[in-house]
Structure 1
């Protein structure tokens, strides 16, 4: 089974090292970016399963990253920030963050919040049927209907369609699709 991929975007290298160690111990695949622009590029390149995001970053701040990502993407985001005032937390959550943790923090708590968020999202992803305008995809029966007419797909074609349709606002890299659909490990 593929490991969950986590991207930590924080300019504090010590925090990144601590979190990397904790997430590696929990068998996550961990990637790090130390500025907002590099973080955005890695999001597009890696298609992580979850993002830990600092707000005060060089190049592009965390709120701008949330603003840019959330309309097009369903990758969960946990903000990790020294900004601990209520209006800062509310602003981050309004812009689409799924959780907000203030510094100083417990690395174990961040790992548990991450695991809980991924578990909740995975439960939601376990739907058996998806419906779009004129398109029905049933995972259990591996059946696809377009405007009421059943169409035949090869097994990998069905798997690819399901993967894309079940995450309609997520952009996947070629490598991520190969990993998810063909079980290639990069």
Structure 2
């Protein structure tokens, strides 16, 4: 009889969650900031996190992993490397050096814009979008729209953390984007 846990992914997800630090009242009063730096600074934590994403997508026949600026740039390239696929950066406006297409989305107070190189991917390419967390869903939605504008098929949106009380995961799933998150935190 094996001593393996009944659900190793649930155990791994709990371990990942235990390494995420909550910083109260940052960057403004009332916000509970979910800080992934202890997680990615912990050698086993980083390995377990990446393994969860690789396990999820190893048989997905992906062409690319797209990472959202900026924390999606931390885990996205590692996951892409492990899956032996390319990495696509989706950046804040004005950060990419070549011809771009852009998408503007609403924030709680204002707007933001992200861009992608116009030749980052093509028709039929299978892409997963990766970020550290899903809050209001605006950035991931903008990334999805950009990739689709270039002809890609967005297989799924993936994040370490879901903040479901902020409505982003509902917005994204209502728009037809399947989501995979490792863990969730209630509240803001």
Length-normalised TM-score, structure 1:
0.37
More helix by share: 1
Higher strand share: 2
Structure number with the bigger relative contact order (C-alpha 8 A, sep ≥ 6) is 1
Q: Give the TM-score normalised by the residue count of structure 2.
A: 0.37
- Structure label with greater radius of gyration: 1
